[in-house]
A and B are shown apart, each in its own frame.
Chain A
Amino acid sequence: MKLITLLLVVLFQHCSCQNFQDGLALDGQLIVVIEDNLSSTSEEGNTWEERSLVTVRSAKLGQVSISHTRPWNEKLSKSLQKLSKSGDFYKLRLHQQGSKEPNFVYTFADACQLYASGMREHINLMIDTTPSAGLLSQSLVGASLYSPEGRLCHSDVSRSIKGYNSTVSVRTPVPGTVPDTATYIQRIEMANKEKAENKDNRSFFAKYWIYIIPAVLLLMVSGGGQEGGR
């Protein structure tokens, strides 16, 4: 008995340990660096500035958090207002922290919408979790940025922006659907069983005597008529 308990404990520990390891090994923590660009699109030059860090603890479970490394200030508000007035875009550049050659991902949003909503932004990160050749178990693939409520946009109104109001979400690939044969076969089997239960086990004559007897009678009558006519 003791042995079994011991074994169970060991097994349990083993299992929990593996789960824990899965959580770490497959969903190794990922830090995404977000840089922004508040210069006009037509201007040349790289004016990317680091603004936030996103920590993705587990992409599958959607565990993400954002921290802003650069506080929002009046100068940024001014630049954003300028962009918004000229109908330009607010651009973001993202990359994974720690990678030797940063694989940049770019995205953008209408500056006017962001300004009008008071820097309310929604960042959606695409994280690849399928173990493919040459890539980490979690890697940043793409991103999109939009203002959650910014369809109507008045760039003339000057707003005071207190700071970032960011929400971050993560999108991971959905595994492809497989044709559901199991349910279908089950359904067919059920239908067959039902049919078998309701099956009429009477003999052919017992089932159709109501048709056969009149037919025979009719034949007899008509045959008799012919004989009589001869």
Chain B
Amino acid sequence: MEKLLLALLILVSIALPSSSLHEDQIGKFDWIQRGIGSVHLAQFDESGSADGGPARRLVVATQHNVLAVLNTKNGEIMWRHVLPIGATGTIESLNVQEGKAVIVSDNPPLLRSFDVLSGTLIKEVPLKLHYKPDSLYGKRLVQHDSSSVTVAHLTSNTAEITRFSNLKTGAQEWQHSISQPWISSESQCGLTEVSLTCVDASLGLVLSLPFSRLGKTTGKEPQFISTSLESIGLSVAVTSDDDADCKFRSIPITLQNVHGSPRHLLITSGESSSVLQVGSDGSVTPVKEAGASSGAVSVVDVTQADDAVIYRALHHKQAIRISGFSLALGTELVSRSLQFSVGAEAAVRMLVVQQYQRRGDGEVAVRALVVMHDDSVHLVASPGVLWLREEALASVLAVEAVDLPIPASSVSMHDHMAQRAGVLHSLVHRVMLQGSELLSWLAELLEDSLSPSHSSPDSPPALYRDEFNIHKLLIIATASGKIFGMDNLSGALVWSEYLPSIQPLPSDKLLLFLQRSVAHFPHPPQMVLVAMHKDSCRGVVHTFNPLTGEPTGKGLEFLPYRISQASMLAQNDQQFIKPLLVVDTSLGVHAFPSGTELSVVLPHKDVLYIATRNSTHITGHSLRSSTKESLKLTPLWSQHFPPGTIEGVYTKRPGDKVHSAGRVMADRSVLYKYTNPNLAVVVARGLDHINENLLGVYLVDLVSGAVVDWISHSRVSGPVHVIHSENWVVYTYYHDRNRRHELHSLELFEGPSQANATAFSSLAGAQRPPLVERQAYILPFGVQASAHTITEKSITTKCLLLALDTGGIAQVARWLVDPRRPMSGGGPREEGLVQYMPEVHLPSTDIISYNQTLPRVSGIYSAPTGLESTSIVFVYGLDLFFSRVFPSKMFDMLKDDFDYVLIAGALLGLVAAALITRKLAQRKALYHQWK
């Protein structure tokens, strides 16, 4: 009976309004965009199309280990499977036949077959190898057609080739181990139906091993057939060796498989490329193509129909031409060529062509999937581009939100108000201005009422700030080198700019800094992107206007040095630009924009820290020895950070605000917060003497080099996610021994008095070290990425935003993981602190992504809005998700389901009642007087 009552109570409490999202609010404040990543394998599914018509579905496999099926009508994802990250999930080959998509992935290799229509896994066959393909078996090549699978592993001096012909059982037909001195895991090789073909730039040869020879010469070492590169008509591009430690060293000559043909390979050297046909005897012959220019030829597709046709994509600036050459005739088939233009000046990376019979006249028509180097995916037919997907958005590296400008009419008033004049003059001026504003507003109103549909649908909506500054522009920098400006409320792309010559910095980051905001009218806003050059690994700085994407100032600058660190000063120069300081690898300091007067920089920046990547120590440098003419760094402090290499240095977000300087204790005394702006969390990981994982967490003052706190976790492994704000630090990790995810929380206090309430100085010397409160909590899930909410004035309580392994984005109030939560229930209690509970509860109402699953989240970005209660959240990774959060509920705004009618009705009713009763009372009093 009691249980029944309890159940009733729960039912009643559920029925009451809760703080979470209502079903009808889904999509009101949030949006989600699903992505697949950069496509590297694709094939049209021809089974669903009626009598040779165009295919309805397109199967793609991406470098993000996603297998997906796209609708060829609109490019929407019909289904997708996200395979594990890293080498185990890499999709090595794709073969679509009879409504089934067959892939080879995993280690040891697995043959999986999916139903194209529904996405269900039909069959999984392990391909049995006689050796264990671990990390020693470096490079894997897979050749896969309808009847057989060939797997080759290349290691130093050895190639292991295995052929599987029975795809039902995974039994091998034959396997061979070949030793050659020139084979390495970096060898450029390609597997065809009949041979293993490699190209070696140092030998200047194309080496081919026909499989037909393998069967006959048992016991004897099979010989490679060599063809010189000159006979093919290619020369090896000479590369300079001065950038030997550049991470992505360009390979002088590459060999890749040709889509659609198991007997052709594409060889590329520098700008020129050629298609090779491999004969069953191992002979390699270049395919002669009439009219194929030696220019920017990129990708080829061979269709093995009754007449084999080679398709090539040539690009000239933004125009792309796909032309078909008949192999039998050796002439160009003009009717089968396509022409279109793309938005960015990018080269074609991949081309997949489908030939089909047009329904009306039975002519052969052509449709092509074009993947560009900026990761955009286009489906092209004779009328032009049918649809386009920006898959660069699946690899976002940096996000920054920019406030939108206020409309020009209100700007003019603010601008003129700044002029100094007499009181009367300014009054007259103001009245006139407001009068003109009123007139323009009336004119606008009139115009609107006369022509309600005057805004044409194709013109982009005007980007102006809304009432509460929630509408912003998100500037997104991606790993492919494409930068986007995105409307945060709709997710629509406002502009995009492709920089083909850049790549992420060695730490896999791109840096975005907003040097000038929109607040300095008439100066345009300015943003700067710091990246690395693709070939030389030297620094690149790109300055642009974030509202339009157009380059400003010097635009794209190629620097003659490599970048070690970049940071932006908090102070403006006379042009309201915050200078960017770039430190190169030989400790030179450079300010951007390059004309910046050093008198702006010097008084504000004293000590810079330099953390070398994968090192064990950090060195602090001073700018004090700089002169007015040039900046100079001198080393000041150096510290080691055991137990291993430094994983990350996490400073506070620039401009991090602390609303109240102290915290009221249970006995009404005040405990002051330790808000050192130079404090950073340094995380180092290594192994101890018995090879157990160790994690060292340091709180370091980056100016003085003093360590404020030092925690050593034993048997703890990563990934470590750190959130650092105000006077607290929260980090998550995996505990090896307890086999669970844990969260460690730190809070720093100066004590009952403040040393210097107005200005903090790291060099003043600590009177006493700060008090550090520590506590650990159990997390029920693992964490993919973390951040905290940011509001305008930091009055609202902060929330942690955790992207969970389960795919949800959890909003966890900071007080839930407060290290000061009391262990016992007795005694006076501090405000807002409940008794300690070891587990952090994550109720489903705190998942801001409700039932949406977000796989592979790589980061969360949060920005304040004009409303103190509201903070915007942008989650990026494979998918993009945007939402608003209200960490302390919506205290400064009425709920959108607020009942205005009821309130107004009640108010009117009360006024009416008051009037009537007053009248009645007056009359009664009058009667009383007459009596």
Q: Chain A residues in contact with chain B, CB under 8 A? A: 41-42, 87-89, 91, 103-110, 113, 122, 124, 126, 128, 130-133, 135, 139, 141-144, 146-148, 150-151, 171-181, 183-184, 187, 204
Residue B766 interfacial (CB < 8 Å): yes
Residue B137 interfacial (CB < 8 Å): no
Q: Is the CB of A130 within 8 A of B714?
A: yes
Known contacts being A41-B625, A144-B706, A183-B823, is A150 close to B765, with CB within 8 Å?
yes
Whole-angstrom distance between the alpha carbons of A136 and B260 in the complex?
Answer: 61
**Which residues of A are found within 8 Å of B303, using beta-carbon distances?**
none
Q: Is the CB of B1 within 8 A of A204?
A: yes
Q: Which of A104, A130, A147 has the most chain B CB within a 10 Å cutoff?
A: A130
Whole-angstrom distance between the alpha carbons of A171 and B774 in the complex?
Answer: 17
Among listed B450-458, B638-646, B666-674, B851-859, interface-contacting one: B638-646
Q: Is the CB of A175 within 8 A of B691?
A: no
Q: Is the CB of B765 within 8 A of A147?
A: yes
Say how far A9's CB is from chain B's closest CB, in angstroms: 34
Q: Is the CB of A105 within 8 A of B638?
A: yes
Residue B139 interfacial (CB < 8 Å): no
Say how far B278's CB is from chain A's closest CB, in angstroms: 50
Known contacts being A41-B634, A130-B642, A132-B687, is A177 close to B823, with CB within 8 Å?
no
**Which residues of B are found within 8 Å of A110, using beta-carbon distances?**
763, 765
Which residues of B405-428 are within 8 A (CB) of A? none
Residue B707 contacts which of A142, A146, A178 (CB distance < 8 angstroms)?
Answer: A142
Residue B774 contacts which of A91, A148, A177, A204 (CB distance < 8 angstroms)?
Answer: A177
**Which residues of A are found within 8 Å of B688, using beta-carbon distances?**
130-133
Q: Is the CB of B634 within 8 A of A42?
A: yes
**Which residues of A are found within 8 Å of B570, using beta-carbon distances?**
none
Q: Which of B638, B687, B767 has the most chain A CB within a 10 Å cutoff?
A: B638
Known contacts being A130-B694, A131-B689, is A146 close to B637, with CB within 8 Å?
no
Q: Is the CB of A148 within 8 A of B694?
A: no
**Which residues of B are found within 8 Å of A133, using beta-carbon distances?**
643, 686-689, 691
Besides A130-B642, A131-B688, A176-B744, 11 other A-B contacts (C-beta < 8 A) = A41-B622, A41-B624, A41-B634, A87-B624, A89-B624, A110-B763, A130-B712, A144-B705, A150-B765, A176-B697, A178-B738
**Which residues of B are found within 8 Å of A184, using beta-carbon distances?**
836-838
Instruction: Give B697-719 as 1s and 0s: 1 = Cβ < 8 Å from A's Cβ atoms.
Output: 10000001111011111101000
**Which residues of B are found within 8 Å of A148, using beta-carbon distances?**
765, 767
**Which residues of B are found within 8 Å of A204, using beta-carbon distances?**
1
Residue B764 interfacial (CB < 8 Å): yes
Known contacts being A130-B643, A132-B687, A141-B641, is A108 close to B636, with CB within 8 Å?
yes
Q: Is the CB of A106 within 8 A of B686?
A: no
Among listed B506-514, B775-783, B800-808, B905-913, interface-contacting one: B775-783
**Which residues of A are found within 8 Å of B384, using beta-carbon distances?**
none
Whole-angstrom distance between the alpha carbons of A148 and B764 in the complex?
Answer: 9
Q: Is the CB of B712 within 8 A of A175?
A: yes
Residue on A with the closest CB to B622?
A: A41
Which residues of B45-103 are within 8 A (CB) of A? none
Q: Which of B706, B716, B767 has the most chain A CB within a 10 Å cutoff?
A: B706
Q: Which of A143, A144, A147, A183 has the most chain B CB within a 10 Å cutoff?
A: A144
Residue on B with the closest CB to A182?
A: B838
Whole-angstrom distance between the alpha carbons of A151 and B764 in the complex?
Answer: 5
Say how far A183's CB is from chain B's closest CB, in angstroms: 6
Known contacts being A88-B624, A107-B637, is A180 close to B642, with CB within 8 Å?
no
Say how far B646's CB is from chain A's closest CB, in angstroms: 13
Whole-angstrom distance between the alpha carbons of A177 and B640 in the complex?
Answer: 23
Whole-angstrom distance between the alpha carbons of A229 and B709 in the complex?
Answer: 85
Whole-angstrom distance between the alpha carbons of A14 and B619 in the complex?
Answer: 47
Whole-angstrom distance between the alpha carbons of A178 and B735 in the complex?
Answer: 10
**Which residues of A are found within 8 Å of B704, using beta-carbon distances?**
108, 144, 146
Say how far B838's CB is from chain A's closest CB, in angstroms: 4
Known contacts being A131-B689, A132-B643, is A179 close to B707, with CB within 8 Å?
no
**Which residues of B are found within 8 Å of A109, using beta-carbon distances?**
763, 765
Residue on B with the closest CB to A117?
A: B765
Q: Is the CB of A180 within 8 A of B638?
A: no
Whole-angstrom distance between the alpha carbons of A150 and B755 in the complex?
Answer: 12
Say how far B442's CB is from chain A's closest CB, in angstroms: 62
Residue A106 contacts which of B637, B695, B712, B838 (CB distance < 8 angstroms)?
Answer: B637
Q: How large is the interface on B (under 10, 10 to 19, 20 to 34, 35 or more residues)?
A: 35 or more
Residue on A with the closest CB to B636?
A: A108
Residue on A with the closest CB to B713?
A: A176
**Which residues of A are found within 8 Å of B823, using beta-carbon distances?**
180, 183
Whole-angstrom distance between the alpha carbons of A204 and B2 in the complex?
Answer: 10
Say how far B742's CB is from chain A's closest CB, in angstroms: 6
Q: Is the CB of A176 within 8 A of B711?
A: yes
Say how far B763's CB is from chain A's closest CB, in angstroms: 5
**Which residues of A are found within 8 Å of B744, using beta-carbon distances?**
176-177
Q: Is the CB of B714 within 8 A of A141?
A: no
Whole-angstrom distance between the alpha carbons of A126 and B705 in the complex?
Answer: 12
Residue B696 interfacial (CB < 8 Å): yes
Residue B330 interfacial (CB < 8 Å): no
Whole-angstrom distance between the alpha carbons of A173 and B644 in the complex?
Answer: 15
Q: Is the CB of B710 within 8 A of A126?
A: yes
Residue on B with the closest CB to A169?
A: B769
Whole-angstrom distance between the alpha carbons of A177 and B765 in the complex?
Answer: 28
Q: Is the CB of B709 within 8 A of A174?
A: yes
Q: Is the CB of B642 within 8 A of A141?
A: yes
**Which residues of B are found within 8 Å of A131, using beta-carbon distances?**
688-689
Q: Please name the 6 residue pairs, one residue from A and one from B, whose CB atoms are nearest each other, closest first.
A: A146-B765, A173-B712, A176-B713, A142-B639, A144-B706, A42-B625
Say how far A107's CB is from chain B's closest CB, in angstroms: 5
Residue B635 interfacial (CB < 8 Å): yes
Whole-angstrom distance between the alpha carbons of A171 and B836 in the complex?
Answer: 29
Residue on B with the closest CB to A104?
A: B638
Known contacts being A42-B625, A176-B716, is A151 close to B765, with CB within 8 Å?
yes
Residue on B with the closest CB to A177?
A: B776
Whole-angstrom distance between the alpha carbons of A172 and B711 in the complex?
Answer: 9
Q: Is the CB of A132 within 8 A of B776?
A: no
Whole-angstrom distance between the alpha carbons of A41 and B755 in the complex?
Answer: 29
**Which residues of B are found within 8 Å of A41, using beta-carbon distances?**
622, 624-625, 634, 636
**Which residues of A are found within 8 Å of B622, using beta-carbon distances?**
41, 89
Whole-angstrom distance between the alpha carbons of A142 and B671 in the complex?
Answer: 30
Instruction: Give B774-814 as 1s and 0s: 1 = Cβ < 8 Å from A's Cβ atoms.
Output: 11111000000000000000000000000000000000000
Whole-angstrom distance between the alpha carbons of A33 and B825 in the complex?
Answer: 51
**Which residues of B are found within 8 Å of A89, using beta-carbon distances?**
622, 624, 636
Whole-angstrom distance between the alpha carbons of A132 and B756 in the complex?
Answer: 39
Whole-angstrom distance between the alpha carbons of A173 and B641 in the complex?
Answer: 11
Residue on A with the closest CB to B638?
A: A106
Known contacts being A41-B634, A180-B823, is A132 close to B774, with CB within 8 Å?
no
Q: Is the CB of B642 within 8 A of A135?
A: yes
Whole-angstrom distance between the alpha carbons of A65 and B837 in the complex?
Answer: 43
Whole-angstrom distance between the alpha carbons of A142 and B926 in the complex?
Answer: 93
Whole-angstrom distance between the alpha carbons of A171 and B695 in the complex?
Answer: 17
Say how far A192's CB is from chain B's closest CB, in angstroms: 15
Which residues of B17-55 are within 8 A (CB) of A? none
Q: Which of A105, A173, A178, A180 has the most chain B CB within a 10 Å cutoff?
A: A173
5 A–B pairs (Cβ distance < 8 Å), ordered by A: A105-B639, A124-B706, A143-B639, A180-B823, A187-B825
Instruction: Give B705-741 as 1s and 0s: 1 = Cβ < 8 Å from A's Cβ atoms.
Output: 1110111111010000000000000000000001000
Whole-angstrom distance between the alpha carbons of A41 and B638 in the complex?
Answer: 15
Q: Is the CB of A174 within 8 A of B712?
A: yes
Residue on B with the closest CB to A172?
A: B710
Whole-angstrom distance between the alpha carbons of A183 and B776 in the complex?
Answer: 13
Q: Which of B642, B714, B836 has the most chain A CB within a 10 Å cutoff?
A: B642
Q: Is the CB of A132 within 8 A of B686?
A: yes
Whole-angstrom distance between the alpha carbons of A187 and B688 in the complex?
Answer: 36
**Which residues of B are found within 8 Å of A183, using beta-carbon distances?**
823, 836
Say how far B83's CB is from chain A's closest CB, in angstroms: 34
Whole-angstrom distance between the alpha carbons of A128 and B824 in the complex?
Answer: 34
**Which residues of B are found within 8 Å of A173, using beta-carbon distances?**
696, 710-712
Say how far B390's CB is from chain A's closest CB, in angstroms: 43
